[in-house]
Chains A and B, each alone.
Chain A
Amino acid sequence: GENVEQHPSTLSVQEGDSAVIKCTYSDSASNYFPWYKQELGKGPQLIIDIRSNVGEKKDQRIAVTLNKTAKHFSLHITETQPEDSAVYFCAANTGGFKTIFGAGTRLFVKA
């Protein structure tokens, strides 16, 4: 069935460094790729998304890239800050109501 693999499961970086989280999807019909940030005790929050007709999108310190041929998409966070520490989820929408989530990446930013 459809699947989204997310790596790494845990990522630790020094404040000011960059962090990269990678996802791979299996359904070539996927056309919408959102990223969510979940802080402790809260629900996931949409932070950025990309559609299949776009290769890259930026919003301040975060960016997402998409390689449709390889079925890869990645989240890039530059100049990381302690408040970036959270769990990040990638997801792929395969059309209609079917959105498949990755298992999540726990990001630690050390001050």
Chain B
Amino acid sequence: DAGITQSPRHKVTETGTPVTLRCHQTENHRYMYWYRQDPGHGLRLIHYSYGVKDTDKGEVSDGYSVSRSKTEDFLLTLESATSSQTSVYFCAISGGQEGYGYTFGSGTRLTVV
């Protein structure tokens, strides 16, 4: 996906360990989002950012934290991974707050064993 990359693409980790996923954009967009995708649930918002060091919680934020120290990078941290956090994680960017579509990254498949 042009302008937005996620790393790693795949990760297996053990229960109780911290995990950090990275989202990097080259579009200079102000707004960035972290979603998780699970079968039957569509996409659910974890956290979002509306500027450097400006972040807020989404609908499924428990157990997750985020940081944004630069416009281009948005990090998602699972403080102590649990099996319920096994999912596919997508980062997205948008050019505005309302009425703008998202550009999604290719996703990170995380498995917690």
Q: How far is the CA of A89 from the CA of B54 in the complex (A)?
A: 28
Q: Which residues of the other chain, A, contact B33 by a CB distance below 8 angstroms? A: 97
Which residues of A does B touch, CB under 8 Å?
Answer: 4, 6, 31-32, 34, 36, 41-46, 49, 51, 89, 93, 95-99, 101-104
Q: Which of A93, A99, A103 has the most CB of B within 10 A?
A: A99
Closest residue of A by beta carbon distance from B56: A97
Q: Which of B13-21, B78-86, B103-111 contacts A (4 or more CB under 8 A)?
A: B103-111
Q: Which residues of the other chain, B, contact A101 by a CB distance below 8 angstroms? A: 42-44
Which residues of B does A touch, CB under 8 Å?
Answer: 1, 31, 33, 40-45, 48, 50, 56, 58, 90, 92, 97-107
A32: which of B31, B56, B98 is its contact (CB, 8 Å)?
A: B98
A57 CB to nearest chain B CB (Å): 13
Q: How far is the CA of A44 from the CA of B93 in the complex (A)?
A: 12
A44 touches B90 (CB 8 A): yes
Q: Which residues of the other chain, A, contact B31 by a CB distance below 8 angstroms? A: 97
Q: A43-B90, A43-B106, A98-B45 are in contact. List 5 more A-B contacts (CB 8 A).
A: A42-B107, A44-B90, A49-B101, A96-B98, A97-B50
